[in-house]
């Protein structure tokens, strides 16, 4: 570049004709983006042309030194005048022509050369006469700005260097640039290789440099911290020993981040700022460098030694922005997050800026070594990053067609190994057995059943322990005091989850058919509210379920309210106290109207609760009228006090009239009461009965005899003793009422037939409705909830224990492809269920092993709590690698554990934590969100281990910091306590594994 001013060392110019020919030839060059051209005053150039055309070097037209004074607004700032026109005020010459003229004629003292760049605008290529004039400053002092001019073709990196030079910012200080427009809006200038034109910088804008704080945060986005600023600034802990705040069910993310944070090669890569030079902003598969930058921010904060705990809110927001499945605060799977993060970091840091198309080739009988090397070269041609360097290995995939025996061999890269766990063919289930004996408490059994078995297998296993035939068992899932599901014998056990409360009920007989003599009835317990539910559009009482439901087989002939009442009373005898005779008698006898004396009877028993209760639970008027018409046709109008209900009387009379045994028409005390079942028209009933109804209930009377005097005396007695009639009806109180309901126990159904029996077209559900006062007095809730444990529950549940090597062997076992994922055979020209075998060929520096604890099929979902015993040191893969060591320069196959991600809980809820070994002092720590504690090596192997991180031994460095003393402790706020996200965090998410 030419000197700024006269050099006093102009060279001897060539002949005038040669000068013209050379300069004119150079001026014919085409404009190319990025080239430099120079402004030259038009008058000086015209004088020069006249001079060279005269052919006399001693002519008075000699132009002298290059002088651009007419182009400047003033000679102090040398600011270019506005609205200058090409070929009128100036001409443009290419850089080579300018340097020739400068060497021949020199330049006026102190005048700067007017160099301008050629820019490629959307519609044309032109020389940029007027550059972009912006202001530069630091975020720490926004008032102190300096002006600077840059071409639209300049890179942002040039602005970055200009600010460093002017404000004396160290080259080692990590910084980032912000662009502020006139409306004060800020925007990040992420890509330093982008041009000023592409970044939309224009004159008048300000570029601000922000320098990262010592604690890893940025001044403009300092996150919320666990302690106050003074404590944070003074805290100097061991780098990396830092918690991560749970933002609400984000323990899955925290666990994965802690494991990656304690992966030495990756963390050191970010702490050295190596990522800044490799950010790939043009990769369409990446996230424009934003995921890499967000991850770098978290790592730098965690390893600054200034924080007890970091709040990864900005990182969580970025993850949700680029992966919508992680939006919100639901539960997710740490392996899913890890997979996304490793892929995102790889694409953001991919050194391959433009991926080429590569056609993959099959082995076709070539040696494995040759095919593997070719596959790895092809992989690196499209994928080259720190993630590939650290985590990628190669395995061999062999497919064999079952029809033509075509063998296809390919070598594919992997980032982690997802190894299956050996699955037991048996399953342990816990059930509650409810016996027919009403005095027996439910018994809890622990049974071993086939994992792929059916409900009948469960009944068979329970039969061996109870000696009850399997066909006399009904299996149901009880949830929220109701039957969530009643299982059929041929249903698969896979639809029953371990968390389900399974009850097995003994039935009085087996093989109950829908149209058979017996019906399996589901019985719910309900409590009536004291108040009517007028808001629901009706005036009925609200009800709520309580206690355990029942399943019982009932003869269809006994599906009347009275018979069911007696059956249920016996079945509930263990925790329902019966009425004593003394409790049946009222202390006071009141004289009431006859309509009050004979109140509506609820479900066939006299009800003391009053008219409103009778309206709610008793028969409708239509039913009562039907009963009245039936009663008028019967022979009896006098009944015993021992008969508990008028509907029972009706059934007894029907049975008597059909020559069936008498069901309660006799009286032990010899007393008789005459009455009618019509509670709405007492006078008419009495009249009818007096006129023609035959008395019954006494064995010595002739059924065909009509005694008008006795009938009249009965009617007269009814009129003389109204209080006695009310007293007689109220002596038999009902503990509860019975109502046909739907399967949820919420909607009441029709009351059944006119004769008082229930009619069922499907699975019958009835509810036992309790008045709150009666329930409190006669129902023993404490006793109802009691159960006993069978001795099988005392046998400790033996967790399955397997070795990690067994899981890896299972990973390399030959398997047949599923129907949903067939292989297209190039020989057969169709999809085939080929056999597939995976073998390890080469392993990475850091090997991630994913234990597939979550099992998902179209029939079942479960989590395996198998204990996988994995070594902390010297995990030897030499026996699993197909590629054998060729020479001593190849890396060994031994690995040491550096981190573990744990999952506690089940499918619906759970909690993630992690163990990790600090790279600086070699000490193991337990990370539970924001809490961090020391960990002993014997604590690390648990049934919760989910992700294992191993590092090759030859890459592990010796600790640079002495390990802490065993007696030392962390601050109180780092005391670990395990919690469940579903309880402590925001309401859940789960998605578990590829959930």
Of 251, 638, 714, 989, the active-site residue reads 251
* Cβ-count burial 961-987 (b if 16+ within 10 Å, e if not): eeeeeeeeebeeebebeebbbbeebbe
Q: State yes or no: is 559 an active-site residue.
A: no
CB atoms within 10 A of CB 357: 5
With the C-alpha atoms ordered 314, 315, 318, 319, is the resulting torsion angle positive or negative?
Answer: negative
User: Is the distance from CB of 495 to CB of 859 less than 8 angstroms?
Assistant: yes
**Which pair of tokens denotes residue 231?**
């404590």
Record the tokens describing residue 477, joined without a space: 């899932």
Contact 712, 752 (CB under 8 A): no
CA-to-CA dists, residue 836 to 362, 813, 829, 832, angstroms: 15, 8, 18, 11
Q: Which two three-digit tokens encode residue 989?
A: 């998410």
d(CA 568, CA 408) in angstroms, rounded, equals 69
**What does the angle CA 774 – CA 777 – CA 780 come to, to the nearest 5 degrees?**
110
Residues contacting residue 406 through CB under 8 Å, at least 6 positions apart: 400, 825, 826, 827, 828
307 is catalytic: no
Give the Cα separation of 833 and 823 in Å (integer).
6
**Which backbone phi and psi does 163 adopt, to 5 degrees?**
-65, -40
Q: 341 and 292 in contact (C-beta within 8 Å)?
A: no
Residue 102, Cβ neighbours under 10 Å: how many? 21
Residue with tokens 């020739």: 100
| Burial status of residue 517 (CB atoms within 10 A of its CB: 0-12, 13-18, 19 or more) | exposed
- DSSP class of residue 726 equals H
Distance CA 757, CA 623 (A): 12
867-869/801-803 β-pairing: parallel
Active-site option among 346, 392, 903, 911: 911
Query: b/e string for 131-153 if b means 16 or more Cβ within 10 A?
Result: bbebebbbbeeeeeeeebebbbb
Q: Which residues of 167-179 are buried (b: 16+ CB within 10 A; e: fewer)?
A: bebeeeeebbbeb
Residue 678 CB neighbour total at 10 angstroms: 20
- Cα separation values, 646 from 615, 630, 679, 759, Å: 16, 12, 11, 20
- CB contact at 8 A, 345 and 278: no
Contacts of 308 (CB under 8 A, 6+ apart): 226, 227, 232, 235, 237, 242, 243, 930, 971, 973, 974
Count CA within 13 A, CB hemisphere, residue 677.
Answer: 37
- Beta-carbon contacts of residue 923 (< 8 Å; ≥ 6 apart): 917, 934, 963, 964
The CA distance from 366 to 382, in Å, is 23
Q: Is residue 128 classed as helix, strand or coil in its secondary structure?
A: coil
Q: In whole angstroms, what is the distance from residue 308 CA to residue 620 CA?
A: 71
Query: Strands 765-770, 737-740: parallel, antiparallel or unpaired by DSSP?
Result: antiparallel
The region that residue 749 occupies, defined by phi over 0 for left and psi between -120 and 50 for alpha, beta otherwise, is beta
Instruction: For tokens 């007096």, name the residue.
Output: 690
**Residue 281: how many other CB atoms lie within 10 Å:** 16
Active site residues: 251, 911
């Amino acid at each position: 570049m030419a000197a700024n001013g006269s050099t006093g060392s102009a060279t001897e110019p060539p002949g005038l004709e040669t000068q013209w020919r050379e300069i004119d030839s150079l001026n014919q060059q085409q404009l190319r983006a990025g080239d430099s051209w120079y402004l030259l005053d038009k008058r000086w150039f015209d004088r020069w042309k006249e001079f060279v055309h005269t052919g006399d070097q001693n002519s008075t037209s000699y132009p002298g030194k290059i002088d651009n004074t007419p182009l400047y607004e003033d000679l102090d700032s040398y600011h270019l005048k506005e609205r200058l026109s090409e070929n009128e005020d100036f001409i443009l010459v290419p850089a080579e022509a300018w340097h020739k003229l400068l060497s021949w004629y020199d330049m006026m003292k102190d005048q700067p050369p007017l160099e301008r760049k050629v820019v490629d605008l959307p519609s044309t290529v032109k020389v940029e006469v007027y550059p972009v004039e912006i202001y530069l400053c630091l975020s720490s002092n926004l008032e102190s700005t300096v002006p600077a001019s840059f071409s639209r073709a300049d890179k942002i990196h040039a602005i970055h260097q200009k600010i460093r030079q002017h404000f004396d910012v160290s080259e080692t200080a990590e910084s980032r640039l912000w662009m502020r427009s006139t409306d004060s809006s800020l925007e990040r200038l992420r890509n330093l290789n982008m041009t000023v034109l592409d970044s939309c910088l224009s004159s008048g804008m300000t570029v601000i440099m922000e320098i990262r704080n010592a604690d890893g945060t940025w001044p403009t986005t300092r996150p919320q911290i666990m302690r106050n600023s003074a404590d944070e600034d003074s805290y100097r802990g061991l780098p990396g020993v830092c918690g991560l705040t749970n933002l609400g069910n984000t323990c899955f993310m925290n666990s994965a981040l802690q494991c990656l944070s304690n992966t030495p090669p990756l963390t050191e890569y970010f702490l050295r700022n190596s990522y800044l030079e490799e950010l790939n902003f043009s990769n369409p598969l990446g996230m424009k460098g934003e995921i890499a930058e967000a991850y770098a921010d978290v790592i730098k904060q965690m390893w600054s030694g200034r924080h007890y705990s970091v709040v990864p809110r900005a990182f969580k927001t970025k993850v949700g922005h680029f992966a919508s499945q992680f939006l919100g605060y639901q539960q997710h799977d740490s392996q899913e997050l890890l997979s996304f993060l490793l892929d995102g970091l790889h694409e953001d840091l991919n050194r391959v800026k433009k991926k080429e198309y590569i056609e993959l080739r099959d082995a076709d009988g070539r040696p494995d070594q040759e095919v593997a090397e070719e596959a790895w070269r092809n992989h690196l041609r499209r994928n080259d990053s720190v993630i590939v360097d650290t985590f990628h290995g190669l395995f061999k995939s062999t497919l064999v067609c079952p029809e033509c025996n075509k063998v296809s061999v390919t070598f594919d890269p992997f980032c982690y190994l997802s190894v299956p766990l050996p699955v037991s063919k048996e399953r342990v289930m816990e059930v509650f057995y409810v016996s027919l004996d009403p005095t027996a408490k439910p018994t809890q059994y622990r049974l071993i059943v086939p994992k792929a078995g059916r409900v009948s297998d469960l009944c068979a296993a329970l039969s061996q322990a109870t000696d009850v035939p399997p066909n006399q068992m009904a299996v149901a899932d009880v949830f929220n005091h109701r039957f969530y599901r009643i299982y059929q014998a041929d249903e698969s056990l896979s639809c029953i989850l371990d968390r389900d409360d399974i009850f097995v009920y003994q039935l009085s007989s087996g093989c109950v058919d829908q149209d058979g003599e017996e019906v399996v009835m589901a019985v719910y317990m309900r409590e009536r509210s004291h108040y009517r539910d007028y808001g629901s559009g009706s005036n009925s009482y609200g009800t709520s379920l309580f206690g355990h439901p029942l399943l019982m087989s009932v003869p269809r002939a006994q599906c009347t309210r009275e018979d069911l009442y007696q059956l249920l009373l016996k079945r509930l005898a263990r925790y329902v106290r019966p009425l004593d005779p003394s409790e049946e008698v009222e202390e006071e006898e009141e004289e009431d109207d006859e309509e009050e004396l004979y109140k509506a009877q609820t479900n066939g028993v006299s009800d003391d609760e009053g008219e409103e209760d009778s309206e709610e639970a008793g028969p409708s008027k239509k039913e009562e009228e039907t009963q009245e018409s039936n009663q008028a046709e019967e022979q009896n109008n006098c009944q015993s006090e021992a008969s508990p209900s008028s509907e029972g009387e009706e059934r007894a009379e029907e049975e008597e009239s059909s020559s069936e045994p008498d069901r309660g028409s006799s009286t032990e005390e010899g007393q008789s009461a005459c009455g009618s079942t019509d509670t709405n028209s007492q006078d008419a009933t009495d009249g009818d009965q007096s006129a023609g109804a035959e008395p019954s209930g006494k064995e010595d009377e002739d059924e065909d005899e009509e005694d008008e005097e006795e009938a009249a005396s009965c009617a007269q007695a009814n009129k003389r003793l109204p209080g006695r009639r009310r007293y007689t009806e109220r002596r038999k109180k009902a503990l509860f009422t019975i109502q046909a309901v739907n399967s949820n126990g919420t909607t009441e159904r029709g009351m059944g037939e006119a004769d008082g029996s229930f009619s069922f077209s499907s699975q019958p559900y009835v509810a036992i409705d309790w008045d709150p006062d009666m329930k409190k007095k006669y129902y023993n809730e404490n006793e109802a909830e009691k159960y006993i444990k069978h001795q099988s529950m005392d046998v400790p549940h033996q967790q399955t224990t397997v070795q990690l090597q067994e899981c890896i062997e299972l990973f390399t076992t030959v398997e047949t492809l599923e129907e949903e994922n067939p292989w297209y055979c190039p020989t057969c020209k169709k999809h085939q269920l080929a056999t597939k075998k995976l073998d390890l060929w080469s392993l990475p520096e850091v090997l991630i092993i994913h234990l597939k604890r979550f099992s998902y099929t179209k029939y079942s979902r479960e989590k395996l709590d198998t204990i996988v015993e994995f070594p902390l040191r010297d995990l030897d893969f030499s026996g699993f690698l197909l590629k054998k060591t060729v020479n001593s320069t190849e890396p060994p196959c031994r690995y040491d554990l550096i981190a573990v991600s744990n999952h506690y809980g089940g499918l619906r809820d759970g909690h993630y934590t992690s163990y990790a070994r600090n790279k600086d002092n070699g000490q193991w720590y337990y990370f539970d969100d924001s809490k961090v504690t020391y960990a002993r090596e014997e604590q690390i192997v648990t049934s919760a281990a989910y992700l294992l991180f191993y590092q090759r031994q030859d890459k592990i460095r010796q600790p640079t910091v002495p390990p802490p003393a065993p007696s030392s402790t962390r601050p109180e706020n780092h005391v670990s306590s395990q919690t469940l996200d579903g309880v402590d965090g925001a309401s859940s998410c789960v998605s578990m594994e590829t959930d």
